[in-house]
Amino acid sequence: MYELCLIGIGTGNPDHLTGEGARAIREADLILIPRKGEDKADLAEVRLEIIANAAGASPPEILFFDIPERHDADGYLQGVDDWHAAIAKIWQETIATAPKPKKVALLIWGDPSLYDSSLRIAARLAPKPVTRVIPGITALQALTAAHAIALNGIGAPVLVTTGRRLRESGWPNDIDTIAVMLDGQCSFQSLNMQGVDIWWGAYLGMKEQLLVSGALSDVAARIITTRAQARTDHGWIMDIYLLKKHARKGEQA
């Protein structure tokens, strides 16, 4: 039996790693790092940099594994379920090649608890390890900090959702603020843009950071163009955005 530690590493800035996360890296016997193709090699490099900074002269053993492709021919949810099962099998096989590690760690982009599947994948391992979660700075925190804005209005709720759900369900009733993650299709295009502001960010906390904000109807095309060019330049992109309806008279955003 081993301990599996899921360490949130923020949005790519090594300074986003918490002291607890750095200590867990130093204590790990084995760290697994995913590979997502040559065009995303710098994602692995960021993880290696974080490990080097935290571990110093005594780094843990590092093993790489390849992320399988997801196939949605049988529907989105079934595709995700099959994908998680395939990743769990790869984790298990990779860990089995190491000499009985007692503490295994994965460095999770953002936070292991917010729109990340690592906990669900870990639950499929057999025998099931003791799982420990170390929170990191979420993309949502990094976005609001980068734009120097508050997430919610006074006493108001916030919906955190995905681009797919935004396209399929539209803007829900009684919600004025929506945070959208995992959106590769700029799903804000499906909305009535009038009376809506957007705060968009990509590569948050990194030297490549990109920020756009303003009335959605004014900046939507700019965000789409900027996003497409950045993805071409880097081979990958991680972005998030916040949508807010204009504050009604007498209310404070």
CATH code of the domain covering residue 193: 3.30.950.10
Domain boundary among 137, 168, 190: 137
Domain identity same for 87 and 41: yes
Residue in 69, 2, 12 with CA at minimum distance from that of residue 32: 2
pLDDT computed for residue 40 by the predictor: 62
The answer to whether the CB of 200 falls within 8 A of the CB of 213 is yes
The answer to the question of residue 251 being in a domain is: no
Domain identity same for 42 and 103: yes
pLDDT computed for residue 76 by the predictor: 87
Spatial separation of the C-alpha atoms in residues 88 and 110, rounded to whole Å:
20
Apex 194 CA angle, 192 and 199, nearest 5 = 95
30 strand-pairing partners: 61, 104
Domain identity same for 14 and 41: yes
Residue in 189, 186, 194, 204 with CA at minimum distance from that of residue 144: 204
Residue in 159, 149, 241, 165 with CA at minimum distance from that of residue 204: 241
Q: How confident is the model at residue 41 (pLDDT cuts 50, 70, 90)?
A: low
Q: Tens digits of per-residue pLDDT, 46-59? A: 899 999 999 988 88
pLDDT > 90? residue 28:
yes
pLDDT computed for residue 111 by the predictor: 87
How many Cα atoms occupy the beta-carbon half-sphere of 67 within 13 Å? Answer: 18
- The whole-model pTM stands at 0.87
Residues in the chain, total: 253
Spatial separation of the C-alpha atoms in residues 185 and 224, rounded to whole Å:
9
